[in-house]
Structure 1
């Protein structure tokens, strides 16, 4: 809804009136969609000042450290809810009542198995293939196994695809891990929770029963909750971009996984663990703290501060408490975890970090938790993709549900050669 008008003055031309749209929260947005018909378009590398869509799913206020899913604060959801409760909320817009929740959980749990031929598909990968390479390839290949839910114009097909992806992603993620270490695949167990089932498929073996630690189970569930959606980030925008062409849902999610794989996006917690390994021991921390404060030194502390949040990352508050619960429960003796805890103490007390609001973020704590649980760093981004799948699907469905959606077609500022005549090979210098 346009309440105001912005006027754009162009040299040698009449002024152009542009509607200003207001959302339910956040910044007002200048609607420039008609600017192209006037012979102009905007230049915004990285789309940092461009609203690419209307969405009612997630709202972020980076200045205030606020993250809302369908209006509910992330800290409330992480503490009071569970991952499948949040999945329903993201997909349908409202929290489920008891009957809706039980039906949703039952449907997800009874569709966790994958086609047995998918195991053969895995054998086409090298043993040392990165788990993200396998996840990306296998997810895209699901369109060859589930051809009865590929019509993106059919609302029922979209819903079936959504359920299948949420249900089967933990199974596929665990298969990526098992294949990479040479262990047999472990089938899902429907009596377990979503997080508990994933842990069972990750760490269980056919020769003995795997018992889920409830503290670890809750921590994994919170990791899933805190990574479920984060507005129009690179991977979510990629899913929307792919989906705008009418591509099938499995291909769109595979595209999102490929985008998430980039170290600037989904690899942050892995980069944090690599940094801890570089530091190595608690007695070397002062050296690296000094380097982090030196503007001339390229070294940066990973896992501190956030591009979006200019205050404390609201997800980190919950993850910090969970991190300490897991470390206390497992009593892991690992020098790198000692380094992490000392870095956390310094970041929360040192005037340099406090003044610049370089607080530990969600990637810092989730990386520590996953290492303590025994998840290798190569699987960190896989777990991120597992958790984010529901957010991707929610945005994909929302886009297709909106009337008049169009294929995305960004413009460019051309800086190449102007038109020139072709020269025959024999006449070229």
Structure 2
């Protein structure tokens, strides 16, 4: 790969920013985002997602940021890393992907390469995105410009499995372009690359990675529902089963986030369009989507069992991000638990010491508290129930007796409390 190639990263979120940083260490790189506030923050070497440190910005000395469309038109290679969520009907929303394709297409030149990293369904790149590139550029695909797909494997909040030490799948629209794209990524990915035989194979591989995880979690979530009826502790069962060398160690809980809770819908979407209606994948999604209601109703039952009034019961939910030690609240299922409890007439408080309060308010219309505010609230009136939703490190040192009265209910979804320490503690 020639070092004089100019790379433009389109979208500077959890995926795009780390990628721009790494490429910016070796190549002239343009980091582009339509969010002017995001660009202002990055120009000041600040990352609200806490993925990139000031030293990382300094090391990426060939990188600059912009929100201006015309500034990316000097690029030779465009890498698109925009969000691909689902809408309220669980239908794939590729509007950002198509918008990014249009922006890139307007400045596309002969010989340019466009690489997509955004998770999507198999065939989307060539059937949905390429036509937008052709229309907006007036160029011909695989003659004037070329396309690749290299699915992102970013794990938000993970400080060990980072971009450069996770093997990268690559692909291209021709054999030559595929090899060029593979060489490009090989120059920054120390863990190596895997060159897929086609763009569709690369798209499908990404989709099934998260669908597989979703199904495994759905299995243990269903087990948790069964063992709840039998009065058996799920974590004790899983611990016993884990004594076998090949038992897969998954735990029950809420399944949110931008990947596991979303990607299976992209797979079922394209399957349905082809006339096949997936049964196993859809069943897994139904089970995991039902967990917020199951958890809220379980809390109501526990309150009643402890002779506590349900109406106006003061309930504390610990954590609102989609996973532990991560600021990402996208597609979090905790707000659904809160809504269900509110429907029962409970007084619900949510504490999260690392989530962005303004972002949560904007996205979910929910006010959240930090730890000092939570303890202050408990001084006025002790909580009747606590649900440990997210296993943030900060929560492991909390003195729960300071927050509750003697009959309070503690419902541990993450299994980091010893049930033997109190008869009022229940694990999912």
Q: TM-score, normalised by structure 2?
A: 0.25
In terms of fraction of residues, the more helix-rich structure is 1
Higher strand residue share? 2
Higher relative contact order (CA 8 A, sep 6+): 1
